[in-house]
Structure 1
Amino acid sequence: MNERHLTFSSRAARLQYMLLMGLFRLAVTRGLYGRFARGLGRVFGPDGTVFLHEGGAPPYRIALNDGYWTRFALYRAPYEPEVARVLTAASGATPLFCDLGANKGFWTTRAAPLFEQVIAVEASAATFAELSGNARDVPNVTLHRAAIHARSGEEMRFVNTHLSHASARLEADLPAGGQDRVETVGTRAVDDLVPEGVTALIKLDVEGAEIAAIEGAARALTDGAVLIYEDHGNDPACTVSAHLLSDPDIRLYSIETGLIPMPDVATIRACKTDAYKGYNFLAARADSKLLARIMQGFANPARSG
């Protein structure tokens, strides 16, 4: 996944990108960083786009007025290299990758060359439209607009925050603000997405609904699924990790600097030194064959990247 280059929608977009990268070096806060992107977007218009080409993955479209993806996938690239390493280590060991809370499809498109099937789920209508633009023509990708939760077939209210698509969430987890947009979306449970007997690799990023989503993945985890999940730095209780650790058969691992066992909440809390950052961890049953293959991949840098 490390061969990387950019293409642009126009010469103006290339200029916008160069100015953006220069201005971002002056940004001292996350808010100022986002204002730079939106401000340049108003000057150049909304159509400025860069396409990220990486290895054999389909190109990933990034709007140049997007303060999240221009920051993390362009200015601070590579984006979440620890997740890329897990995907590479799992390639060939399972046919299925599930990108749940897929946003605009970064990991969906990165995973497409590595797995026989990719399932991507996104709740926000606007973000799902951009996910579709990035992945709808990829033959082994199946897209669903839904909210991942404990049970399928329910309807829930979903909040699109007015400044950051990356912070969209279910309204039940936190009420909407005055400028937020609320829409209704149906729910899907992980166990209704992953076929019985398939040991899927699942990336879960559902902004506050993680515990309900994990409850809806009980059978998949019993079948040996491996879960990449986020435990945010602003949660000293490590709520999601504590829930997983309450099951004595589940093992947790930090993946940022290797595959490191996380035996308790105190160890996980010590890893989270930045209150503004989401930290990726791995969870699976101790007897998961897919977990064993991923561990082999991490032990072999030539394989895991």
Structure 2
Amino acid sequence: MDQDTFDYEVSGNPISIGLVKLLHTIVARSTGRGMGLAMRAVRPFIHSQTPCVHFADGSRLYFELDDAYWNAFFVGQPHRTYESDIAMLLLRLKDVDYTFFDCGANIGYWSVLVTSEMLGRKRAIAVEASRQTLAILEQNRSANDRRFEICRKALFETDGQMLSFSDDGSHDARHIVTSQGMRSKHVEPVVSITLDSLARQLQMTDRDRLVVKLDVEGAEISAFKGAREVLKRDTLIIYEDHGNDRSHTTTRYMLDTEGFPVFSIAMDGAITKVEELGLLDRVKTNPKIGYNFVTCPPGSGFHQWMERAAGRA
């Protein structure tokens, strides 16, 4: 598989982009931490700027220059492939017909790419709970011929429940909160939706294949509980098991409670079947990042495909 498929160029104000790149260099040479603080210092000068990532096939992705999460990939380490493990997996699935649920879509990176020529022009819906992120998600939809749908709801185990979503501006701190966390000024209300309802909303049939990218910051098990019908069909779910969770809660749930097969995907695209949880102790070496795993209903077409892929590895 060729990672050059995901090559891109970034356009925008060269002075502002140069400043952000310099800050990344300084931080990397010192403690390797503090980019969030650096962004707060320069935010008044770059807050309204949205550089554009141009992919080879004409796809475009706008991001906010003062967002330390996204500028780390597109400015701090230019030409690095974002989530290369998922990228390689979806590239291998280019010729498979499926619908894509981008759950926790953020600015719509995967919704843009999976509906592009490079990944086979799949049908996709971006599910995002943050009202703050919605404007740039809409901008990216418009910039790409409105080729994916948007659902502003929170993925959960029940439908129509009023939840509270914490959005303090940092990508990895966004999550559903309990009533105790509602006093924060960064909390906003959002209605819940299940994966089953999302499939019905798109009028999917039992014959339709489905790939779900699940990035819901700790609500993965709730999302699985709301996917009883979805998990009876040919569905592949890419989910995160965070490095700081040494109990491997989500993977343990899928293996022990649901009895589903789980596969680990490496940054180079290599696939390994998780035969026992001890494998995660060896894979999840950095407590500061999330690691992507794949699960699917036993005996499904995707299960057979993953088994073959793991066997070739």
Asked if Structure 1 and Structure 2 have the same fold, meaning a TM-score greater than 0.5 normalized by the shorter chain, the answer is yes
Match of 1:282 among 284, 288, 294: 294
> Residue 128 of structure 1 aligns with which residue?
134
Partner residue of 2:226? 216
Which deviates more from structure 2 when the two are superposed, residues 64-73 or residues 31-40? 31-40
Letter of the aligned partner of 1:34 in structure 2? G
Are 2:191 and 1:186 equivalent residues in the alignment? yes
Equivalent residues of 1:35, 1:67 under 8 A apart: no
- Displacement of 1:48 in angstroms is 2.2
CA distance in 2, matches of 1:135, 1:294: 31
Which residue does 1:47 correspond to in 2?
Answer: 48
Matching residue within 279, 284, 305 for 1:267: 279
1:297/1:259 CA distance change after superposition, 3 Å: closer
Displacement of 1:289 in angstroms is: 1.1
Counterpart of 1:7, as a letter, is: S
Separation of aligned partners in 1, 2:180 and 2:109: 26
- Residue 59 of structure 2 is matched in structure 1 by 58
CA distance in 1 between counterparts of 2:99 and 2:247 reads 32
Contact in 1 for aligned 2:164/2:182 (Cα 8 Å) = no
| Secondary structure, aligned partner of 2:181 | coil
Give the CA deviation at 1:75. Answer: 2.1
Alignment-derived partner of residue 242 in structure 2:
232
Aligned length: 294
Deviation per CA, 1:222-279: give whole Å up to 9, x if none: 2021010000011101111111112464111111141011122221122111110111
Answer yes or no: is 1:108 the counterpart of 2:115: no
In the alignment, what sits opposite 2:205? Answer: 196
Query: Aligned equivalents of 2:217 and 2:89: distance in 1?
Result: 21
Q: Percent of pairs identical after alignment? A: 26
CA apart distance, 1:181: 1.1
Q: Distance in 1 between matches of 2:179 and 2:138?
A: 26
Give the unaligned 5+ runs of structure 2: none
Q: TM-score, normalised by structure 1?
A: 0.88
2-side partners of 1:120 and 1:37: how far apart?
27
Provide structure 1 residue ranges, at least 5 long, that are not aligned to the other structure.
Answer: none
CA spacing shift, 1:296–1:109, aligned 2, 3 Å? farther
CA contact (8 A) 1:97 1:115 kept: no
Letter in 1 for 2:181: P
Distance 1:92 1:184, change over 3 A: same
Distance 1:243 1:57 in 2: 40
Pick which of 20-29 and 126-135 moved more: 20-29
Equivalents in 1 of 2:310, 2:60: separation in Å?
27
Q: Residue 82 of structure 1: which of 81, 85, 95 is its match? A: 85
- What is the 5 A alignment of 1:131-146? 131-136=137-142, 138-146=145-153
Q: Choose from 169, 174, 195 the match for 2:175.
A: 169
- Is the alpha carbon distance of 1:58 and 1:294 closer, same or farther for their aligned partners in structure 2, counting shifts above 3 Å? farther
- After superposing the two structures, state which structure 1 stretch, 192-201 or 93-102, moved more: 192-201
Give the whole-Å Cα distance in 2 for the aligned partners of 1:33 and 1:231: 24
> What code does the residue aligned with 1:155 have?
M
Structure 2 CA distance for partners of 1:29 and 1:64, relative to 1, 3 Å: farther
What's the TM-score, normalizing by structure 2? 0.86
**Distance in 2 of aligned mates of 1:103 and 1:174:** 25
| Equivalent residues of 1:97, 1:202 under 8 A apart | yes
**Structure 2 SS opposite 1:218:** coil
Q: Deviations over 1:76-116 (max 9, x none)?
A: 32211111111112223133111001011111111111343
